[in-house]
Structure 1
Amino acid sequence: MLLRSLNPLAIARGDDVDDAITIGDTVLSRSHILGAATSVAERVAQAERVAVLATPTAKTILAVVGALIAGVTVVPVPPDSGTAEREHILKDSGAQAWLGETDELCVGLPVVPVRLHARSWHSYPEPAPQSTAFVLYTSGTTGPPKGVLLSRQAIAAGLDALAEAWQWTHRDTVVHGLPLFHVHGLILGVLGPLRVGSRLVHTVKPTPQAYADAGGSLYFGVPTVWSRIADDEASARALASARLLVSGSAPLPVPVFEKLRALTGHAPIERYGMSETMLTLSTRADGERRPGWVGLPVRGVETRLRDEAGNDVPHDGESIGGLQVRGPMLFDGYLNRPDATAESWTEDGFFKTGDVAVVDEEGFHRIVGRESIDLIKTGGFRVGAGEIETAILGHPGVAEVAVVGVPDPDLGQRIVAWVVRRPSTPEVTEPDLVDLVGAQLSAHKRPREIRFVDTLPRNAMGKVQKRLLLPE
């Protein structure tokens, strides 16, 4: 059962928890969640797909859980999406109604309300494991967002593999303030606690003070969140009593990793995943945690690296190759996109992630970045943007950096770094950073140009949108 910790038998045994989920000022017991979500299920049980405006509220959680109880596919819609993106998601997904809270842009479909205090104890049969639980839309960096089809059995397999890797149990209290329309915040961050039986504190906004005040054992955050916590010494030290700090959705800068370890006593868990794959790689609660590396395949996952000709890439910790993965938590394809689906899979069942990585002799993985943007081909060399970014972030005057290969008639691509200076430190200059990279890495990896900017473009999950830095 996907939400096995919410079944009536658990509550009848006295396993109810008064504060199973705390989101903002709303506190929900397990029986409250079950009763109110089942009431939602009764109102949508005849639908095939419903859209949920994924605001960080209790009603969003009840809407999602209610639809899952009824076996109705959920289409989470980012609350900050523009009109064109929202219209595309609704049309492409075939959603038949809005479920829960809406705003002035939620037009064209009937609205099914979610009531916090409604209750129903009707019993629904468990939907088929292979049925689609979610249509999650990608960020759309290379065109309109694609709908990723995730089944109930894929989600269950992914969550169970992470519970094993992180020794995650009902005794934990999960804390995060991540958006509820993506794998990280919604599936891992909400369905994970419900499946495992742990408590959840959703802070609505992922501020350092909110994390410090939550008193959790298992914290989820993106690198932007962890960077802000690392810069707030009092809040960081308050996390010393936690069990695990988990970072994902983008690479965690090595200086942030080291600062968190110094202030909290915890080396962060780093992991890797996508909407299409859920989480397939992670360092372990009982294993090595190496800055800049995302660890080993979780239970049931196989990986391999292939070069541009389709040949195996050696696991030597240096050679870069396209990362391919296979496992039980992978998606079932892109909605209405048979061509894109077919192009993403190999004949023997591996998904081509579009990311490039290196693997060492022990099987540890380091993600270099997207093959299309983070693998720079300059002067005949293949260079990963990530290692240059790590070197530049080692300068105390640098707050953020994004390295991109810009078209160049001589080199093919020249290495350019966009840098956000850190306030209240001696001003860093272009020669400082070029010399810093040259001292740590090969000469051909030095940036040809440093561009100082006030901010870097990011999406809602904190990922830098490097394509927006390239010339039109």
Structure 2
Amino acid sequence: MLLTALHADADQPDAVRVGPRSIARHELLGAASAVAEQVAGAQAVAVHADASLETVVAVVGCLLAGVPVVPVPADSGPGERAHCLADSGAQQWWGPRPEDVTLDARAVDLAARGATPDEPDPAATALILYTSGTTGPPKGVLLSRSAVAHGLDALADAWAWTPEDVLVHGLPLFHVHGLVLGVLGALRVGSPLVHTVRPTPQAYAAAGGSLYFGVPTVWSRVARDPAAARALHGARLLVSGSAALPAPVFAVLAQLTGHAPVERYGMSETLITVSTRADGERRAGLVGTPVAGVRTRLVTEDGGPVAHDGESIGELQVVGPTLFDGYLHRPEATAAAWSADGWFRTGDVATIDREGAHRIVGRASTDLIKTGGYRVGAGEVEAALLTHPDVTEAAVIGVADDDLGQRIVAYVVGNGLDPQALAQLVAGTLSVHKRPREVRVVDSLPRNAMGKVQKARLG
């Protein structure tokens, strides 16, 4: 059973709260069952994934019926939206309907009640999540009910997540972090969920939770608000993901809240595969060890093994029960995503130390820089730059160079910065060949909704 706690006999007031509105467990089950009756038999259903109780109920209703859910970002544009709807074959639209959407539109009735259907096949597709589309049209990632269940159970084990926790987050409800972990996780474990609508420091401080989810942008803002940060002292666990948490932010959070953050790693195709454990050592920049049932390895460009010495860089590959079932209508892309011996190729480069702790360096396509015969990870250069007290953001890319192959170029945000001094800082912290050949001071870095820097827009 995927949403185990939703079917529990005990009544749970305020099982989910979104902003000022809340819904009890039995009300959620009843309203979602009414949705399930309306979507039964559909090929797929699109849900306008804004921060609302209606989004939660619509998603849960589809899952109860065994119908694949296509969460559509509330701010998606007509082109992206049209692609996702056509590609997924969605037959209904739940939520406010944009003018360009011609599907049969339905509205969630929170007061409606329906009969709870039988549990669908664990192998059935639960979600079709669309990738960011940075290398072409977004691809539909097929996630089974079984993969979601395995992933959430592994995280409950890693984070000691129990029904006694109160989960707080304000993340968007169309991706793994905000929807799968942040909604379905709470409904599987049985912990109440408080969604703050917007992830502001003030909202997090007022929520009174024990378990908090955030992305680096959120935690950076909390760290800059000492009063809000200190209000989280009573929490049990602060979890950061979706991008690397800068070491200075990690340090400030640990000082102000009394909790060193837990960092983790995953992607739409794998869910969360690596995490620091609640009872494990927490070090800035490390995303921990594989969760239960998952194995990882590092390989060179020709498929050879990479030493687990904390320094050597290789492509991260993964196997385990949390992996996706392929890309919808993309057999070639699906085949290319796996190695010849059955490991998923994440496309990320990483290091693993002797204790098995992983550090994500970045994407192989954009963050592995080949300069002057050396292989340099953009992430390690960014981490070095962020040790400067006046650097608030940093992004490093490789730019084509006739002499070096690629030269290292850094984009930094901050006040009163000396580009030459920053290049020397990297040379002194890491190695001379890893220093940026150019340092460009900018007002801000381009980011997507999850706070990830969009490096394709730099240069």
* Residue pairs, 1:56-455, within 5 angstroms: 56-105=51-100, 107-120=101-114, 122-422=115-415, 427-455=416-444
Equivalent position amino acid for 2:64 in 1: I
Q: Is the 8 A contact 2:46 2:69 kept in 1?
A: yes
Equivalent position amino acid for 1:370 in 2: R
Equivalent position amino acid for 1:232 in 2: D
3-state DSSP of counterpart to 2:42: coil
Distance 2:273 2:135 in 1: 23
Equivalent position amino acid for 1:281 in 2: V
Q: Is the 8 A contact 1:254 1:390 kept in 2?
A: yes
1:100 Cα deviation (Å)? 2.6
Over aligned residues, Cα RMSD in angstroms?
0.9
**Which of 24, 27, 47 is 1:29 aligned to?**
24
Is 430-439 or 411-420 further displaced after alignment? 430-439
Distance 2:97 2:234 in 1: 38
- Asked if residue 38 in structure 1 is aligned to residue 27 in structure 2, the reply is no
3-state DSSP of counterpart to 1:328: coil
1:123 Cα deviation (Å)? 2.9
Distance 1:83 1:411 in 2: 42
**Which of 449, 453, 456 is 1:460 aligned to?**
449
3-state DSSP of counterpart to 2:128: strand
3-state DSSP of counterpart to 1:372: helix
Distance 1:345 1:390 in 2: 30
1:410 Cα deviation (Å)? 0.6
TM-score (norm 2): 0.99
3-state DSSP of counterpart to 2:116: coil
Distance 1:287 1:154 in 2: 25
Distance 2:406 2:198 in 1: 39
Q: Is the 8 A contact 2:30 2:116 kept in 1?
A: no
Distance 1:114 1:69 in 2: 15
1:146 Cα deviation (Å)? 0.3
Distance 2:257 2:278 in 1: 16
Equivalent position amino acid for 2:204 in 1: Y
Distance 1:460 1:134 in 2: 20
Q: Is the 8 A contact 2:351 2:359 kept in 1?
A: yes
1:103 Cα deviation (Å)? 3.2
1:443 Cα deviation (Å)? 0.3
Q: Which runs of 5+ in 2 are unaligned?
A: none
3-state DSSP of counterpart to 2:309: coil
Q: Is the 8 A contact 1:101 1:114 kept in 2?
A: no
Is 205-214 or 396-405 further displaced after alignment? 396-405
3-state DSSP of counterpart to 2:366: coil
Equivalent position amino acid for 1:5 in 2: A
Equivalent position amino acid for 2:52 in 1: T
Aligned length, in residue pairs: 459
Task: Spell out, residue by residue over 1:383-438, the C-alpha distance to the aligned partner (whole angstroms, 9 max, x if none).
Answer: 0111111111111211111000111111011111111114xxxx111122112112
1:5 Cα deviation (Å)? 1.0
Distance 1:143 1:417 in 2: 26
Equivalent position amino acid for 2:308 in 1: H
Q: Following TM superposition, where does structure 1 have runs of at least 4 consecutive aligned residues deviating by more than 6 angstroms?
A: none
Equivalent position amino acid for 1:252 in 2: L
Equivalent position amino acid for 2:61 in 1: G
Distance 1:371 1:92 in 2: 27
Equivalent position amino acid for 2:395 in 1: A
3-state DSSP of counterpart to 2:365: coil
1:175 Cα deviation (Å)? 0.3
Distance 2:145 2:41 in 1: 19
Q: Is the 8 A contact 1:51 1:99 kept in 2?
A: yes
Task: Spell out, residue by residue over 1:363-400, the C-alpha distance to the aligned partner (whole angstroms, 9 max, x if none).
Answer: 11100000000011000000011111111111121111
1:452 Cα deviation (Å)? 1.2
1:82 Cα deviation (Å)? 1.1
Q: Which runs of 5+ in 1 are unaligned?
A: none
Q: Is the 8 A contact 2:29 2:116 kept in 1?
A: no
Equivalent position amino acid for 1:16 in 2: D
Distance 1:103 1:219 in 2: 32
Q: Is the 8 A contact 2:386 2:394 kept in 1?
A: yes
Identity rate of aligned residues, in percent?
66
Equivalent position amino acid for 1:257 in 2: F
TM-score (norm 1): 0.96
Equivalent position amino acid for 1:460 in 2: A
Task: Spell out, residue by residue over 1:307-357, the C-alpha distance to the aligned partner (whole angstroms, 9 max, x if none).
Answer: 011100111111100000000010000000000000001233210000000
Distance 1:434 1:312 in 2: 32
Task: Spell out, residue by residue over 1:281-302, the C-alpha distance to the aligned partner (whole angstroms, 9 max, x if none).
Answer: 0000011111101010000001
3-state DSSP of counterpart to 1:180: coil
1:275 Cα deviation (Å)? 0.0
Distance 2:291 2:435 in 1: 35
Q: Is the 8 A contact 1:59 1:101 kept in 2?
A: no
Q: Is the 8 A contact 1:35 1:119 kept in 2?
A: yes
1:256 Cα deviation (Å)? 0.6
Aligned twin of 2:2:
2
Q: Is the 8 A contact 2:308 2:356 kept in 1?
A: yes
Equivalent position amino acid for 1:223 in 2: P
Distance 1:2 1:46 in 2: 19
Q: Is the 8 A contact 1:391 1:440 kept in 2?
A: yes
Task: Spell out, residue by residue over 1:105-126, the C-alpha distance to the aligned partner (whole angstroms, 9 max, x if none).
Answer: 4x12110221121122x13111
3-state DSSP of counterpart to 1:6: helix
Distance 1:180 1:395 in 2: 34
1:47 Cα deviation (Å)? 1.1
Distance 2:87 2:357 in 1: 38
Equivalent position amino acid for 1:429 in 2: D
